[in-house]
Amino acid sequence: MNRPEKEGPLKGITIIDLTRLLPGPLATQLLADMGADVIKFENIISPDYARFMPPQYNGVGLTFLSVNRSKRSLAVDLNSEEGKNIFWDVLKTADIVIDSFRPGVMEKIGIDYESAKKVKEDIIYVSITGYGYDSPLSNKAGHDINYLGRAGILSTNGKPDEIIQPGVQISDIAGGSYPTVMACLSAIISKHTTGKGQHVDVAMVDCSVPLLSIYMGEVLNSQKTYQRQEHVLAGSIPNYNIYQCKDGKWISLGALEPKFWKGFCELLQKPDWIAKMFDPSMKEVLKALFLEKDRDEWVQFAENSDICLTGILEMDELESDEYLQNRKMFVEHVHPAYGKFKNIAQPIKYNGNKKNPGWAAPMLGEDNTDILKSLGYSDEKIAELKKKGKIV
């Protein structure tokens, strides 16, 4: 299938993507949006099962479609000698390999970093795991909720007598996807300065712990322990909190600095409130106050004031939001198999590179022929591999 030419700051970088589900695929989608040629390399015996998971969109898993934009798909039997040979041929043209298997799986398949160095000495491997390589928990299974628990993030979330499960995958993305992008970019820079590749270990628990930075500075250096909502940024103070409005919708007040709180009180013509910035009793006062107007009425009321008052949008409001539209935060592509698909766009804006047009997430093995031909495989050889069931 013909693909538009890649653009962006990572144009010319080739990445083999062996990841599945969410953390790795979102990272490689971000890298693909930055211009990298990302080859989603799947074993036909066990492809990315997000392809088949519900909910589905025209027969394809929505999770898969949401995090695999702008990649090419190569699907082979990695358990076979022919499949491994294809992997090594692709690796010779690649800069980075990203995997999300538990430690030992890549060695079992026979495509681990030590083996890869013999084929391409300066290759970069980035491995995303829950608990990292070389740790007592290396082979322990886990998901986002387990990593959040181990990293202490869940202990901050909720009410004093109740832990509330977050609505999004924090460790998967903030502890997995984003650090993986940083790992790739820093390893590329290192390679350019040293000429050497390396194996980078991205553990989602480790990369989630820095989310506690403003807590742990005190916890590590004193006898302080925090209860849920005790921290000033976790709901303990009235001027930095969330309030329900008359229409049942919600609003966030972030008047953390005195100047913002003062502006808030002056807007409401309540000068006597200025001295009560941290007064716990003000929570109940503000709860009653915000119930006097609908959310959008409050937003309009404070529109011209510099006080950090923001309406909390529901997800079905995001696409039509003026700010997000202006920032071009949603994109639509068309695929011949499943039609039009809307998605969240690349969030980082580059003004020194052409915009990367991208394309919809590929079907399994959609780019097999094009990739193999680019590696020098003849039509006859490709037909033979198909006949043997080594590629789809």
DSSP line for 349-373: --SSSPPP---PPPPTTTTHHHHHH
Of 259, 279, 311, which marks where a domain is finished?
311
Report the half-sphere exposure of 302 (CA within 13 A, side-chain side). 27
Question: By the 8 A CB rule, do 342 and 332 touch?
Answer: yes
Q: Return the pLDDT at 284.
A: 97
Asked if residue 71 and residue 151 are part of one domain, the reply reads yes
Are 52 and 135 in contact by the 8 Å Cβ rule? The answer is no
Amino acid at 149: G
pLDDT in tens, the chain (392 residues): 688 999 999 999 999 999 999 999 999 999 999 999 999 999 999 999 999 999 999 999 999 999 999 999 999 999 999 999 999 999 999 999 999 999 999 999 999 999 999 999 999 999 999 999 999 999 999 999 999 999 999 999 888 889 999 999 999 999 999 999 999 999 999 999 999 999 999 999 999 999 999 999 999 999 888 888 888 888 889 999 999 999 999 999 999 999 999 999 999 999 999 999 999 999 999 999 999 999 999 999 999 999 999 999 999 999 999 999 999 999 999 999 999 999 999 999 999 998 899 999 999 999 999 999 999 999 999 999 999 999 98
Residue 235: inside a domain:
no
145 in any annotated domain: yes
* Position 242 in a domain: no
- Catalytic member of 172, 201, 206, 367: 172
Alpha-carbon span 189 to 199, nearest angstrom: 14
Residue reference for tokens 């716990």 = 280
288 plus 164 within the same structural domain: no
Residue 7 lies in a domain: no
Catalytic site residue 172?
yes
Distance CA 44, CA 368 (A): 12
Would you state the pLDDT for residue 261? 97
User: If residue 27 lies in a helix (H) or strand (E), which one and from where to where?
Assistant: helix 23-33
Alpha-carbon 390 to chain mean position: 32
Which of 282, 311, 340 is the last residue before a domain boundary?
311
302 and 329 inside one domain: no
> CA–CA separation, 368 vs 365, rounded Å?
5
In a domain, 290, yes or no: yes
Yes or no: say if 296 and 309 are a contact pair by the CB < 8 Å rule: no
In a domain, 230, yes or no: no
CA-angle at 144, arms to 142 and 148, nearest 5°: 100
Q: Do 108 and 189 have their domain in common?
A: yes
State whether 76 and 122 are in the same domain. yes
State the pLDDT at residue 108: 96
CATH code, domain with 178: 3.40.50.10540
**Number of folded domains in the chain?**
2
Supply the range of the domain harboring residue 166. 14-210+324-388
Based on the fold, state whether residues 133 and 271 are members of the same structural domain: no
* Phi-psi map region of 102: left, alpha, beta (phi>0 left; psi -120 to 50 alpha): beta
Same domain, 337 and 301: no
pLDDT of 232 reads 84
Residues 331 and 297 in one domain: no
Both 72 and 138 in a single domain? yes
**Is 40 in the same domain as 173?**
yes
**Are residues 292 and 336 located together in one domain of the fold?**
no
216 within some domain: no
Is the same domain home to 155 and 300?
A: no
Of 285, 311, 337, the residue at which a domain comes to its end is: 311
In a domain, 5, yes or no: no
Q: What is the DSSP string of 94-138?
A: -SEEEE-PPTTHHHHHT--HHHHHHH-TT-EEEEEESS-SSSTTT
